Amino acid sequence: MSHDQRQKALFNAIAKLLRPLVRMLLRNGIPYAAFADLAKHEYVSVAANDFAMAGRKQTNSRIATISGLSRKEVQRVKELQGIGDPIDVVERYHRAARVVSGWVHAARFTGSEGEPLPLPMDGEVSFNALVKAFSGDMPPRAVLDELLQTGMVERKGDEKLHLVQRVYIPKAGEVEKLGILGTDVGGLIDTIDHNIRSAGTNPRFQRKVYYDNLSEESLAELRTLIGERGQEFLEVMNHWMAQRDRDVNPQVGGTGRKAAGIGIYYFEEEGPQEKP
């Protein structure tokens, strides 16, 4: 594929990617100027951090050359404050998930048959100890509020905390969904980019199934099926990964520190209309 063909294909892909994104931006009152500043910020940040030459300082001139911005604009963007995150959705998302995973898999917090133990708030084997082990300096009360609100945890008659779901499902508020948009879609784009750059060497799994002439009735069945089978698959993979995660199982060996995950999503749209 020639350079021009590659650029044309990329522009077409970006247009399709931007359409639902711009729809969300407009619906939430984000004007073009704000989006443009954010895009410039990311161009400068990526050019500075990901395209530096080994052993050489990344100058504004080189960032300008790579990004297409002027040196003056590069400097202006650098001086802008970073994008604020008053509610750290992503951090809370991952930390709550780690707490649930530790509760399910760590021997200290499970019973003789591997079931998550009911936990008091305080003590050697307690919810506070669980959060300290798997969520660092996150306040236990904040984690508990999150898990209670999502229905992951219940406080029963024995006054202990009971885990009622084994895979963390974030609450369905708009702020949480918008925050997860960045991590989940970003992960998919990164996987596609990796598979393009790798040219078939060590590809990452990326698949989908698609049919364009399904009935409304079959979609109702499909949504139920993907909810059931998708949840089953995620629980299997969650168990496999937790057994190999060194925060959950410190005795597991190996080198480096890698993050990996699996995402499943369902989509539907209007199929192509038959020509008269």
- CA distances for 147 relative to 14, 107, 234, angstroms: 37, 21, 19
CB atoms within 10 A of CB 67: 20
Cα–Cα distance measured from residue 219 to residue 211, given in angstroms and rounded to the nearest whole number: 11
pLDDT beyond 70 at 169:
no
Q: How confident is the model at residue 229 (pLDDT cuts 50, 70, 90)?
A: very high
Cα first-last separation, the chain: 37
Whole-model pTM: value is 0.63
Q: What is the DSSP letter of 53?
A: P
Residue 256 lies in a domain: no
pLDDT beyond 50 at 190:
yes
Residues of the chain with pLDDT > 70, as a percent, come to 91
pLDDT of residue 86: 39
pLDDT of residue 276: 53
Highest averaged pLDDT of the listed ranges 7-11, 33-37, 168-172, 245-249: 7-11
Residue 237 lies in a domain: no
Residue 10 lies in a domain: no
Residues 157-180 as b/e (b if ≥16 CB within 10 A, e otherwise) read eeeebebebbebebbeeeebeebe
Residue 272 lies in a domain: no
pLDDT of residue 88: 47
Burial environment of residue 265 by CB neighbours within 10 A (0 to 12, 13 to 18, 19 or more) = exposed
pLDDT of residue 202: 87
Backbone angles phi, psi at 163, to 5 degrees: -80, 120
Average pLDDT over residues 158-163: 90
Residue 78 lies in a domain: no
The DSSP string of 211-269 is -S---HHHHHHHHHHHHHHHHHHHHHHHHHHHHH-TTT-TT---SS-------------
pLDDT top residue among 183 and 71: 71
Structure token digits, residue 262: 């699996």
What are the residues facing 153 on neighbouring strands?
Answer: 163
**Domain count along the chain:** 1
Cα–Cα distance measured from residue 130 to residue 116, given in angstroms and rounded to the nearest whole number: 11
Average pLDDT over residues 183-199: 87
pLDDT of residue 257: 92
Number of H helices, E strands in the chain: 9, 2
For 136-152, how does the pLDDT look when each residue is reduced to its tens digit (9 = 90+)?
777 898 889 888 888 88
For 74-123, how does the pLDDT look when each residue is reduced to its tens digit (9 = 90+)?
998 888 755 554 334 455 566 788 899 889 988 899 998 889 999 999 99
Is the separation of the CB atoms in 67 and 74 below 8 Å? yes
Considering the chain, what is the average pLDDT of its residues?
85
Residue 146 lies in a domain: yes
Residue 67 lies in a domain: no
What are the residues facing 161 on neighbouring strands?
Answer: 119, 155
The residue range of the domain holding 114 is 89-163
Residues sharing a CB contact under 8 Å with residue 80, sequence separation 6 or more, in sequence order:
37, 41
Residue 4 lies in a domain: no
Cα–Cα distance measured from residue 76 to residue 41, given in angstroms and rounded to the nearest whole number: 10
pLDDT of residue 184: 85
Q: What is the DSSP letter of 88?
A: -
pLDDT top residue among 68 and 199: 68
- Domain harbouring 145, CATH code: 1.10.10
CB atoms within 10 A of CB 119: 20
